[in-house]
Amino acid sequence: MTTDKSDISGWLVRPAGGPLWAGLAAVLGALAVHTVLVTSGGGMDNAIVVDAGRTWLAGGSPYDDRHFLYFPSAVVVAAPQALLPRAVLDVAVPVAVVLALVLGWACALRLHRVPLRSRLAVLGLLGPAAGFAPFGQLVRLGNWTVTAVLALPLCLLLANRGRWVAAGAVIGVAVALKPLLAPMALLFLFARRWAALAVLVLVPVVASVVAALFLPDPTGFLTRTLPFLLSGDDAFVRLYEASPAAVLPRLGVPGAVATALALLAAAAGVVCAHRRWRGPGPAELRLAETSAGLMLSAFLVSRPSYDHYLLVVLPLLLAGLPYAGAVARRPWFWLALVPQLPGVTWPWLEPGRRRAFRDSFTLCALAVTVARHCVRGTREAGRPGGAAEERRTAVESV
């Protein structure tokens, strides 16, 4: 990245004017207010967790609801929400989700040493809020995926500053709330940060075991939820799953073959991510690109795998835009996001039962783009005068 006038990086890292900030505030405010007006309980997905908390407080088992897919520790965290009036939840949850998205983006920017007052700070949040459908969907649903959107860049920011144990604790807390970031254990394994890895594992395990002791069905997650996740046998959930393991059978591919293909693709993605970790370049870029590769690989095989999961990796990749050779500068990065443009009608793919096909295209195209970049970017970064040198110059200049 360079900051002179001849490169777009220079324009992106300069301070944003008042009109840009006003536009961002208007879009985020409108999204939050609209969600308050059209949803209840903070959104459908948040309501599932809150209802689980209410069931537990009433003496029942949260795992009686097959769509409650969280660890027992999440029940305890949801209980305070269950005590709040519905009118308070309707306002508090959308606002909290928007704030978490903003904070996650701020952590991603600081990881890449991009100024928080820059044009990229505004446009990198305004663009997804106005032009990436899963952003608004995540706010409207109140899905707890937002905890991972905040936790991942915060973890990498801490790791980049040498605070690996604290980074492991952040991921551990996020996994205790929702297991989405569990694949990040591989990053700590790559880095051989054993103490941090132990913290990452122990935090959700201890929290869940302790919480399970207070549930009427302590083994409910293992006996009900885990088999449900492994089988994926739910007609409603299947309509929205974007992983190839779920989509390919709907196109006539045998389930075993689809699962095998998804596993092979995920394994290839992990290998590419490991290669990026061991490659040259600044630590912040290796952290971001390796983590994005790991998470996208996991999304290829996870059941379920929804479109808003992409928001976990998108901020990390967008924040690296000022760097020469960044994955966000590759054409396929942007082409992969095109199906998620709101307001665009895609023939034969608009009905709810077919939306998963375009979501799967975005996931697969983005995963392939990042995996290819992890290999190709490593080669480019190793060349004299290549991307690695430009990135170091950029960090020093910012």
pLDDT: is 11 or 161 the higher one? 161
Could you tell me which residues come within 8 angstroms of residue 118 by beta carbon, excluding any fewer than 6 positions away?
12, 13, 14, 15, 16, 109
Q: Give 350's pLDDT tier (boundaries 50, 70, 90).
A: low
Give the model's pLDDT for residue 394.
Answer: 41
Closest CA to 75 of 60, 62, 88: 62
DSSP state of 15: B
Range of the domain at 285: 232-398
Say if 158 falls within a structural domain. no
- pLDDT tens digits, one per residue of 35-81: 999 988 888 889 999 999 999 999 999 988 888 889 999 999 999 99
Whether residue 40 lies inside any domain: the answer is no
Lowest mean pLDDT among 9-13, 31-35, 140-144, 350-354: 350-354
* Residue reference for tokens 């985020």: 28
pLDDT at 119 over 60: yes
Tokens of 18: 């008042």
Q: Higher model confidence: residue 266 or residue 344?
A: 266
The neighbouring-strand residues paired with 15 are: 118
Q: What is the pLDDT of residue 323?
A: 84
Spatial separation of the C-alpha atoms in residues 17 and 67, rounded to whole Å: 45
Domain count across the chain: 1
Question: Would residue 209 count as lying in a domain?
Answer: no
Instruction: Band the pLDDT of 269: cuts 50, 70, 90.
Output: very high
Closest CA to 369 of 340, 327, 337, 341: 327
What DSSP string describes 58-112? TT--GGGSTT--S-HHHHHHHHHHHHS-HHHHHHHHHHHHHHHHHHHHHHHHHHT
Nearest-angstrom CA–CA distance, 331 and 317: 13
d(CA 387, CA 365): 23
| Domain-embedded: residue 188 | no
Examine residue 383 and state whether it is found in any structural domain, yes or no.
yes
With helix as H, strand as E and coil as C, how does 51-63 read? HHHHHHHCCCCHH
What is the per-residue pLDDT for 356? 85
Confidence of residue 166 (pLDDT cuts 50, 70, 90): very high
The helix (run of H) or strand (run of E) holding residue 32 is helix 18-38
What does the mean pLDDT of the chain come to?
Answer: 88
- 14 is a domain residue: no
**Would 369 be classed as within a structural domain?**
yes
Residue 239 lies in a domain: yes
Kindly report, residue by residue over 202-261, the tens digit of the pLDDT. Answer: 999 999 999 999 999 888 888 888 887 776 556 667 778 889 988 998 888 998 999 999
Q: pTM to 2 decimals?
A: 0.91
